[in-house]
Amino acid sequence: MTNLAEHQPDCPFCAIASGALGCHKVYADASVTAFMDKNPINPYHLLVIPNVHVADFYELDDATYVAVMRVVKKMAAIVKSLAAPQKVGLVVAGFDVPHAHIHVIPMHDYHDITSRHYIEGTLVRPDDAELARNAAEIKSALGMS
Ligand SMILES: [Zn+2]
């Protein structure tokens, strides 16, 4: 139900929102999509995006911003229950993909959010099966399985 006219060609997150690019999606509605980060800091690290292409979250219209943050809140509670971290952290940076996205990150340690491996891009990538398993658990917790 996304407005394809608002999508940017060559934007991977627009492609995910429209369904043109596959991912381990855990949630989608008319204005928001959530999916597993392919390069997570910890298992269950996921991304929440507006379906519309807007580079920075503070440029979103208020209704879309609220819709995104409602999904972030719901996802954070599920991540807390599944990953049992000390805290669930949120990061908004956007150096990698110029389409607003909120990282929802289970933090077992204070330094998880400033992980040197993450910044240097040297994290161990989970395989596709692990991402699929984690996505299925989140969908199950949402009652979407
Ligand atoms: Zn985009």
Distance 36 CA to ligand 1 centre (A): 17
Q: 63-81, pLDDT tens digit by residue?
A: 999 999 999 999 999 999 9
| Positions marked catalytic | 101
C-alpha span between 21 and 83 (Å, rounded): 27
Conformational region of residue 19, where left means phi above 0, alpha means psi within -120 to 50, and beta covers everything else? left
> Residue length, the chain?
145
- For 106, half-sphere exposure in the C-beta direction (CA atoms, 13 angstrom radius) is 20
Nearest in space to 26 (alpha carbons), one of 39, 40, 36? 36
Task: Tally Cβ neighbours within 10 Å of residue 2.
Answer: 20
Complete domains list, the chain, with CATH: 4-138 (3.30.428.10)
Are the CB atoms for 80 and 44 separated by under 8 Å?
no
Distance 96 CA to ligand 1 centre (A): 12
pLDDT of residue 80: 97
Q: Give the pTM.
A: 0.87
Distance 72 CA to ligand 1 centre (A): 18
Q: How far is CA 107 from the centre of its chain?
A: 15
Whose tokens are 């999606």? That residue is: 25
Task: Share the mean pLDDT of the chain.
Answer: 90
Distance 134 CA to ligand 1 centre (A): 24
Nearest in space to 68 (alpha carbons), one of 5, 143, 17? 17
Q: 28-67, pLDDT tens digit by residue?
A: 999 999 999 998 989 999 999 999 999 999 999 999 999 9
Are the CB atoms for 67 and 32 separated by under 8 Å?
yes
Give me the phi and psi of 35, to 5 degrees please.
Answer: -155, 160
Q: 93-129, pLDDT tens digit by residue?
A: 888 899 999 999 999 987 777 777 777 777 778 899 9
Distance 107 CA to ligand 1 centre (A): 27
